[in-house]
Structure 1
Amino acid sequence: MAASSAVGDESLYPIAVLIDELRNEDVQLRLNSIKKLSTIALALGVERTRTELLPFLTDTIYDEDEVLLALAEQLGSFTALVGGPAFVNCLLPPLESLATVEETVVREKAVESLRAISKEHSAPDLERHFVPLVKRLASGDWFTSRTSACGLFSVCYQRVPNPVKAELRLKRNPDPDDSVRLLAVEGCVSIAELLKREEVEKLVMPTLRQAVEDKSWRVRYMVADKFTELQKAIGPEITKKDLVPAFQNLMKDCEAEVRASAASKVKELCENLPPDGRQQIILTNILPSVKDLVSDANEHVKSALASVIMGLSPMLGKDHTVEHLLPLFLAQLKDECPEVRLNIISNLDCVNEVIGIRQLSQSLLPAIVELAEDAKWRVRLAIIEYMPLLAGQLGVEFFNEKLNSICMAWLIDHVFAVREAATNNLKKLAQRFGKVWAQNIIIPKVLSMSTNPNYLHRMTTLFCVNALYDVCGKDITTKIMLPTILRMGSDPVANVRFNVAKTLQRIGPIMDYNAVPELRWSG
């Protein structure tokens, strides 16, 4: 229908306007017109929306990706605008076209909308209209349509008769394109959730076994990435029989990306194992491969493992942790990669609950020192964040003896972000160990920086006061910190004097001026 023939007929005006706007060179105008489709549909009514608007949209899917994305999203909520569930199948043609375009986000949104409107189909309509769409997509010449089909099998499989289920299963044979095969792995999760155990064994596991050994590393990576979802969908018995050996293979994969993805799933996989027999499976099947990953040549693999390995401790208990995991932790604490050491330190609470931190303390110290002095300032920044946790686990005596000097050294780091984090760290430590500890251990060192020749260090003194005053309270602030602040009011650097004023304004409400009447502002 041409725009010229529509303009003179007011009843056709909305379509005419839409045609003109969609032909406009301005992408934003075309996008805005798509976003008001629901308004146009309301103006047209359900019959003309079905007979005019949707055919027009189906025939004009050639626009910019952002316009197509908006269209795919709009159509997913169009059921009421076409007359309800009895007519919802008329939304399938435009969405089918959108499900075949090259841009991934458009296809994904089209599939999302198709999945939504599939629920509006009656069982007969689903078999009559929706299933043929899935078959067409699954048999398409281009991988784009076949990838979209992977996301649609699960929404119709459970609702169709057994003969149709058999036809759908034939469409899930290994595809020559790895982009399709990797999405088939994701589809296995949805399908497995719908099937009984014996059906899973017969219908899903062959696909997964092939995927674990697929020639494309991207497919194997998808299996590793979706492994715990597969584990939950498939159930404990098949997991023990098939998935655990498959997981061992993924942890030994020749591609580092696959090993790293599998390594990151170790803790969750073990947590999802049935309690009865979990410990034995971990010791027999998982730990040997984990030990190999600890010394993997790829730092991303080691880092991924280090972020989860501590979580195995509660499942193995104290004796097995000391015998099997502790040597691995100690090896990772000495790893040349700072991210590995950092990930171990950041998860110490898991081990602390099982064996106590003391068994790790002697090995922890060298690792902490190296991280605290790492050349990468982001690494130094990261270890600061875990210092209060470490301090609480190691105790005040160990901290005072071994770690306090490290925390004070961060206050004079050449990177402001590190100095700022070190200041906040002192506040958290004071909250953990108490204001008396702060008064005796850290405040004297902080105040001594007020006379440092470097004005940045003098500024840090003020920043620390701002962080500590509310933890330390009125007496310590007034009697110990205030004199130093007032003296700094005559600092030769204007920025220091300005921050003195800001500090006084901040701490003023809690100070006891009567306690030190001899002090007067000297700036």
Structure 2
Amino acid sequence: MNLDKAHQEHIIMTMILPQIKDLVCDPNQHVKSALASVIMGLSPIVGRQNTIEHLLPLFLTQLKDECPEVRLNIISNLECVNEVIGIQQLVQSLLPAIVELAEDSKWRVRLAIIEHMPLLAGQLGQEFFDEKLTGLCMSWLIDHVYAIREAATLNLKKLVEQYGPQWAEANVIPKVLAMSREQNYLHRMTYLFCINVLSEVCGRDVTTRVLLPTVLAMADDGVPNVRFNVAKTLQKMAPHLDPAVIAPQVRPVLEKLNADPDVDVKHFASEAIAGIAA
């Protein structure tokens, strides 16, 4: 803001705010979207009382806008408002907006809201997140678009970094483990992709005790793509496992895969054996 500090609040409230109120209802979605990307930044300038009285109704209107980009831009800039009034005032409207964006028919909109989940997790708090949004995060893992499934696995990693391994073991890992038993082999593949990232952040104990047994069991999967991803996953997990399990548990499974009739399975098993030995 280049306005004189002594007068900027007065100028915003008397001269700029009336224009903003008109723009919130503008018929052009690009105008509303552009406004949504900057309106939250006014909160720290005009202060708590003005934000609650004058800006909050505009934020709530934009969270219900028919255009997903408008809603997304409001959610993307929540931090500004959280610093001034806290996020609780917006929660009742936030949740429906997040759910709608999470299920939007355009996969790029779904992708954008996934990328904002770690930020939301930090601002909404663990209890609210567990109750309202963890299920949503898990549902993205079985999305029909690969880019969404990939982003969803990275999102889980960031959430575990934020909330910790104990949270992961209680809230995320049981749901991920269930995917290893799915009929759809793409879901079983996604399970392995999840393990690749979770093993980096869950710690040696959880990775060895909880994640490893299911990966080892999947070496007998009927789909070659799953079997060679087991080999790749074991190689990635190895640095995060208790060294005592490598020789008796991991290596025999990789040796078995190295004798697999499928050439790709053999190739990745061989690579994993060499990688772990190195």
TM-score normalised by the chain length of structure 1: 0.47
Match of 1:334 in 2: 64
Identify which of 15, 28, 31 aligns with 1:298. Answer: 28
Match of 1:241 in 2: none
- Work out whether residues 238 and 246 of structure 2, in 8 Å CA contact, stay in contact via their aligned partners in 1: no
Q: Report the residue type matching 2:219 in the other structure.
A: G
Identify which of 465, 471, 474 aligns with 2:204. Answer: 474
- Measure the CA separation in 2 of the matches of 1:462 and 1:427: 13
Identify which of 37, 60, 83 aligns with 1:353. Answer: 83
- Measure the CA separation in 2 of the matches of 1:368 and 1:490: 39
Q: Could you say what secondary structure the match of 2:6 adopts? A: helix
Match of 2:218 in 1: 488
- Measure the CA separation in 2 of the matches of 1:287 and 1:509: 56
Matched positions, count: 253
2:151 matches 1:434: no
Identify which of 44, 48, 59 aligns with 1:314. Answer: 44
Match of 1:276 in 2: 6
Percent identity between the two aligned chains = 68
Identify which of 348, 372, 375 aligns with 2:105. Answer: 375
Q: Report the residue type matching 1:373 in the other structure.
A: E
- Work out whether residues 478 and 513 of structure 1, in 8 Å CA contact, stay in contact via their aligned partners in 2: no
Structure 1 residue 324, shift from structure 2 partner: 0.3
Structure 1 residue 517, shift from structure 2 partner: 8.6
Structure 1 residue 512, shift from structure 2 partner: 1.4
Structure 1 residue 421, shift from structure 2 partner: 0.4
Q: Report the residue type matching 1:361 in the other structure.
A: V
- Measure the CA separation in 2 of the matches of 1:292 and 1:424: 39
Match of 1:504 in 2: 234
- Measure the CA separation in 2 of the matches of 1:418 and 1:476: 26
Q: Could you say what secondary structure the match of 1:296 adopts? A: coil
- Measure the CA separation in 2 of the matches of 1:478 and 1:497: 19
Q: Could you say what secondary structure the match of 1:275 adopts? A: coil
Structure 1 residue 509, shift from structure 2 partner: 2.2
Match of 2:270 in 1: none
Identify which of 416, 435, 440 aligns with 2:146. Answer: 416
1:79-90 correspondence runs (5 A)? none
- Measure the CA separation in 2 of the matches of 1:436 and 1:349: 27
Change in CA separation of 1:397 and 1:516 when aligned onto 2, cut-off 3 Å: farther
Q: Deviations over 1:142-194 (max 9, x none)?
A: xxxxxxxxxxxxxxxxxxxxxxxxxxxxxxxxxxxxxxxxxxxxxxxxxxxxx
- Work out whether residues 318 and 354 of structure 1, in 8 Å CA contact, stay in contact via their aligned partners in 2: yes
- Quote the RMSD (CA, aligned, Å): 1.3
Q: Could you say what secondary structure the match of 2:109 adopts? A: helix
Q: Deviations over 1:399-440 (max 9, x none)?
A: 000000110000000000000000000000000111111111
TM-score normalised by the chain length of structure 2: 0.89
Identify which of 324, 336, 351 aligns with 2:54. Answer: 324
- Measure the CA separation in 2 of the matches of 1:473 and 1:498: 24
Structure 1 residue 396, shift from structure 2 partner: 0.3
Q: Report the residue type matching 2:192 in the other structure.
A: L
- In structure 1, the gaps of 5 or more residues are 1-270
Q: Report the residue type matching 2:72 in the other structure.
A: L
1:166-315 correspondence runs (5 A)? 271-315=1-45
Q: Could you say what secondary structure the match of 2:142 adopts? A: coil
- Work out whether residues 307 and 347 of structure 1, in 8 Å CA contact, stay in contact via their aligned partners in 2: yes
- Measure the CA separation in 2 of the matches of 1:497 and 1:490: 7
Q: Report the residue type matching 1:283 in the other structure.
A: M
